[in-house]
Amino acid sequence: MKRLGLLLLSSASMVTVIFCYMESLAPIYMDSLWSQSSSYTINQTTGQNGFQSILITDAFMERIKSLPGIRETVAWNQSAGTLEFSGMEENPFASLLMEHRYGVQVWDAIETAGQSAAPEGLWCRAYGIAEENWEKFFQYADGEIDREKFRDGEAVLLYLPYNTEAGIELDGQLYQDFGVALGDTVTITAYGMGELEEPIPSPVPGDDSLKSYKPYQQLMPTNRAKAEAVGIITANLEQDPCLTLFQSDNYYAVIGSNAFAKKLMEADRNGILLDKEIWSNQAYGYTNAFIYTGMDAGYFSTDYLMAKSAAEHCLMFTNQREEHAAYRQEALQALLHIWICGICMFLILALILLNTEMLHGFAQKRSFALLQAIGMSRRQLRARLAAKGLLMALASCLLGHVGYFLFFALKHIGTYQKFAEETDDTGTFFELLKAQFTGNCLEAGWSLPAHLSFCAFGMACVFLLFFAPQNRVLKETIRERLS
């Protein structure tokens, strides 16, 4: 009974260690996620009712970077067009998309504008990325990238997020080959939607270049850019908090430099369709920008200055900083609670265990002395104690995991109904546990080395709490212990 009690105490200590690690994974992940999410979003002002868009300029970005608390900025130009590549007609997936006129939003826009003829090629998005942000994309691309060619707009990255083993199912058929390969030359075509009319009063002070458009009677290709595909990104960039710039229905996309995007915008006097309701023929600029701040930003002043700058440039401004900071604070608070709770529980259990082991050692000291008197050496006795301690640590580690699993299961009994309702999940409770474990632990940054480190720490504590008090008894002489 005494041994069982000690084992249960040790196991409870291990549960607290495992608890601290496993329960802190989700808050750490959430904190990391929100710290990587943009605090402010700047978008170009869309040219609704046939008016020219106002884009984000380099000068604006430079000004933004100098504001207090700004950690990082990511700016890009997003436009729409069609993509062609050799052998496109033979590729079943590309053929299917052409047949189904994928990219229905754009065709809707074309039809709204009074166009009837559909362009050749596959609808796609084309991105022009600021040079300082290239690395963010390059890390996802396979192959070495020639930066000079990329800078000059002669090379681009292809973004085919579904071109993986899982592929994509369309019309009941699974497609894994999207037809474009590394080294292929791709052609992007941009389309004009109308002719510029006389300038109208610009909302930007001192800027009289804003113009309206008279729609064309039919869709007209205006610019064409050819480039070599030097890298293919198959990762889902929506998962990267810094790069949440792609829509999930985007099967084909081209990521290029500013030079590449400029080629698509060189529209003499024609208005260029960048995307639905986005028009431009002005000097190159970015359509979107994410602004990241640290936790130490001078928030209220930065909020004000950001909003003011955006308003002055007639750009659309969204402030998510407060919301994200609240999420981070919530995550950090949860983390703090978990660790305080875990450490307190661990210390209490460790103290109880230490005292119990000291009493146990005191009770055992006569037995130890007797063993030495009849021929056991101090080293043998220590080895025996160490072996017992090790066994105790291993057993408590095992039972600790069982204990944590029970805690995990108990925790989710209360949330089962809610979870099932929210997610329309009709699976069993075990499936819920599996899903929760996958979501909250495995996908939240669980790693075997870290887990083993925590286990090793817990086991070392249990071992020392067992071994040290009993070893201390051995310092007395045999006679002292026998009397």
Taking the complex as a whole, the smallest distance from the CB of residue 378 to another protein amounts, in Å, to: 5
Helix, strand, or coil (residue 248): coil
Report the nearest approach of another protein to the CB of residue 366 (Å): 7
CB of 374 vs another protein, minimal distance in Å: 5
d(CA 45, CA 262): 19
Q: Which residue has the tokens 């992940």?
A: 29
Q: How far is the CB of 383 from another protein (least distance, A)?
A: 12
Q: How far is the CB of 384 from another protein (least distance, A)?
A: 10
Comparing CB distances to another protein, the nearer of 367 and 453 is 367
Nearer to another protein, 116 or 379 (CB): 379
Q: Which residues bind another protein (CB under 8 A)?
A: 366-367, 370-380, 477-479, 482
Closest approach of another protein to the CB of residue 27, in Å: 47
Pick the closer one to another protein by CB: 336 or 370: 370
Report in angstroms how near the CB of residue 477 gets to another protein at its nearest: 6
User: In this complex, which beta carbon is closest to another protein, that of residue 144 or of residue 379?
Assistant: 379
SS3 of 427, please?
Answer: coil
Three-state DSSP class for 121? Answer: coil
CA–CA distances in Å: residue 101 to residues 109, 119, 158, 175, 191: 13, 10, 20, 17, 16
**Cα-based angle 301, 304, 306 (whole degrees, multiple of 5):** 105
**CB closer to another protein, 379 vs 417:** 379
Q: Closer CB to another protein, residue 367 or residue 447?
A: 367
351: left (phi over 0), alpha (psi -120 to 50) or beta: alpha
Contacts 24+ apart (CB under 8 A), 211-214: 211/51, 211/52, 211/281, 212/49, 212/50, 212/51, 212/52, 213/47, 213/50, 213/51, 213/52, 213/271, 213/279, 214/50
Looking at the Cβ atoms of 101 and 378, the one nearer to another protein is 378
CA distance 269 to 204: 21
Any idea what DSSP says for residue 438?
A: I
